[in-house]
Amino acid sequence: MPVMKKLVAADIVLGEPLPFSIFDERGNLLLRKGIAIAMPDQVDRLVTRGALIEDTRPEAGLAGAGRPQRSSPMPAAAPTEPVFERIAGLALNLKHIVATALRTPEQIDLPARIGKIARTIQELCRADLDSMLAAPYLDYQNPYIIVHQLMGAVLTEVVAERKGVDVEQRVSMICGALTRDWGQLSLQGELDSLTGPLSDGLKQRVRAHPTRGIEMLEQAGVTDACWLESIRAHHERLDGSGYPNQLKGDQIPLGGRVLAIADVFSAMGKPRPYRNRVLGPQNALREIYLKVGSEMDE
């Protein structure tokens, strides 16, 4: 069985795929090989909690030769697929749904497929919320639009659940979070190739994406009012400075308020060519709290 050693900061190169998987002291998988860690404080937290990796030094194998090994923290076979693996599968599934919906929407039952992903997100948040919050931040494999939708969906479940929203209404909100930027899909190639700020024309097209997204979803068979209204209002702001309808205060439905927080927090964590700053989670929360009562719902 492999010999394990405690992780040290020097084992990890920021921004580079991990050459090993990382486990906790009980052998539970924390991060799978190939995932990139981008922030030093993530490394510090892993080191502080005593995370383990396989010791590949030649002397480690020799030291254990010829004598019984103590029980290794590396599990021989995990009873269930790790959360990081399952959310990676959700990302692939969402990519497939998006591509099919754009090309041949009649071939899929879109409300059912998105609803299934939403319920899986609820299940995984109950099982391992830390991994669910971390996985999208550490995903550098999938397109921004996919990761952004998934991160927003996870955050929507967290905020709505703690707000006391019932399970079924949360499913509708999560479905909204998973599809909130579909009206922007036709612009995504143009947005991804930008090397500077949005032009006025492109900005106007971006601001129309909630309305366009609802049209696409209705054409694909979505009739859930909470799902659609959450998307329509996710860029509205309490002070009326949002879009597309400049709604104020109580005019904004709860789903729109929740999606707004999830969308803003998620967007602050991923680099974009037209965004000057990328913030870590704590600074993103600070930015949001500074807007509480004016733009964001307390």
Site of tokens 């209002």: 233
Question: Would you kindly state where each structural domain of the chain is located, as residue ranges?
Answer: 4-64, 83-290
Identify any residues that bridge with 286 across adjacent strands, giving them in sequence order. none
Half-sphere exposure of 154 (CA within 13 A, CB side): 25
**Beta partners for 19?**
none
Q: Sorting pLDDT into bands at 50, 70 and 90, what band is 2?
A: low
Angle, helix 225-232 to helix 209-219, in steps of 10 degrees: 160
Which regions of 11-166 does DSSP assign to beta strands (E)?
Answer: 22-23, 29-31, 52-54
What number does CATH give the domain 83-290? Answer: 1.10.3210.10
More confident residue, 278 or 259: 259
Mean pLDDT of 182-189: 80
Element (H, E) at 93: helix 83-103
For residue range 123-139, list pLDDT tens digits in order. 999 989 988 998 888 88
What is the Cα–Cα distance from 267 to 137, expressed in whole angstroms? 11
Token pair of 254, please? 């709860």
> Which of 101-105, 123-127, 237-241 is predicted with the least confidence, judged by mean pLDDT?
101-105
The pLDDT of residue 139 is 84
Q: How far is CA 30 from the centre of its chain?
A: 17
More confident residue, 295 or 15: 295
- The lowest-confidence range among 113-117, 166-170, 198-202, 256-260 is 198-202
Q: Which stretches of 47-154 are assigned E, i.e. beta strand?
A: 52-54
Which residues, listed in sequence order, are joined to residue 36 by a DSSP beta bridge? 17
In this predicted structure, what is the pLDDT of residue 71? 42
Residue 166 CA to residue 158 CA, distance in Å, equals 12
Name the band, by pLDDT with cuts 50, 70 and 90, for residue 268: confident
At position 290, the amino acid (one-letter code) is: L
Q: What's CA 35's distance to the chain center, in Å? A: 14
- Residues 31 and 28: their CA atoms lie apart, in Å, by 9
Average pLDDT over residues 270-285: 68
- pLDDT tens digits for range 135-166: 888 888 888 889 999 999 999 999 999 999 99
Q: What is this structure's pTM?
A: 0.71
Q: Which of 14-23, 30-39, 94-103, 199-208 has the lowest mean pLDDT?
A: 30-39
Please report which residue ranges of 128-166 form alpha helices under DSSP H: 129-137, 144-163
The beta-strand segments (E) located in 21-95 are 22-23, 29-31, 52-54
Span 233-243, mean pLDDT?
Answer: 94
Most confident of 31-35, 64-68, 91-95: 91-95
State the residue for tokens 């909690």.
49
Contact assessment for residue 88 and residue 137, using Cβ atoms and an 8 Å cutoff = no
Residues 211-233 pLDDT 10s: 999 999 999 999 999 999 999 99
154 SS3 class = helix
Distance CA 33, CA 22 (A): 8
Structure confidence at residue 65 as a pLDDT band (50, 70, 90): very low
Q: How far apart are CA 293 and CA 104, in angstroms?
A: 43
**Paired strand residues for 5:** 53
